[in-house]
Amino acid sequence: MDATKDTPASDRRVRRSQAALQGALIQLVEEQELSQVSVADVAERAGVSRSTFYDHYRDVHELAEAACTLMIDDLIGSLPTFGPDSPDRDPTRSLRAFFVSLAEHAGLYRSLLGPQGSARVIDHVRRRITVAIHLGVRRAVTGDASAQRAADTSHDVPAAFTAGALIGVAADWLQRGCPRTPAEMATLTWPLLTASYLNVGMSCSPTQTS
């Protein structure tokens, strides 16, 4: 009985500690480069001990990936859907939303995606965007909305290329201090992504297997 009663309280404590640590890291990375942030810095800002930090994360980079998961989901969710039957009649609007999301946390993404950032976070973003592209174009071209998990292991070269290109453009824009507006970035990037997406669509055609 005691264990049953303690479990929900324990879960709440875990969630509170993780939320405090993630929020602290986001604040710190807005102020300095990720490479300069230590476990001690995060723990102090979060108001917890170093041992509490290590109860949840191995290092600052693992915390960074966890802290960015929801924001990464928002970024990927704002990407346009491509294909002949795409419901998005103004795809640059969605792409603009992607750059707006980046700009809202420019300091964080500049640190994470920059030369001194987190390789694990960059790889996480790349893989998530690659899968999103593969699934989106597969649905648009073939009408197949199933086998979501299969896309995780699919080697879709054009999708991976497009994801890498988009991350590269975003990282360059952030490192330069966002000199162009999100609307301008969307307009400039759209023709390049269109060509890549057309190749992705060909790779996802019904005549080919993933």
pLDDT tens across 79-96, in order?
765 544 455 557 678 788
More reliable by pLDDT, 175 or 146: 175
Residue 90: CB atoms within 10 A of its CB come to 10
- Asked if the model's pLDDT at residue 36 lies above 50, the reply is yes
Under 8 Å between Cβ of 23 and 6: no
Which one-letter DSSP state was computed for residue 9? H
Give CA angle at 13 (8, 15), nearest 5°. Answer: 95
Residue carrying structure tokens 């824009």? 173
- The full set of domain ranges for the chain reads 61-203
For 188, counting Cβ atoms within 10 Å of its Cβ (0-12 exposed, 13-18 middle, 19+ buried), the class is: middle
143: left (phi over 0), alpha (psi -120 to 50) or beta: left
More reliable by pLDDT, 112 or 71: 112
Per-residue pLDDT, 99: 92
Dump pLDDT digits (tens) for 44-53: 999 999 999 9
Provide mean pLDDT across the span 119-127.
84
Under 8 Å between Cβ of 64 and 27: no
Provide mean pLDDT across the span 122-134.
83
Give CA angle at 121 (116, 122), nearest 5°. Answer: 75
In Å, how far are 82, 165, 204, 210 from 207, measured between CA atoms? 19, 26, 8, 10
Residue 201: CB atoms within 10 A of its CB come to 19
For 183, counting Cβ atoms within 10 Å of its Cβ (0-12 exposed, 13-18 middle, 19+ buried), the class is: middle
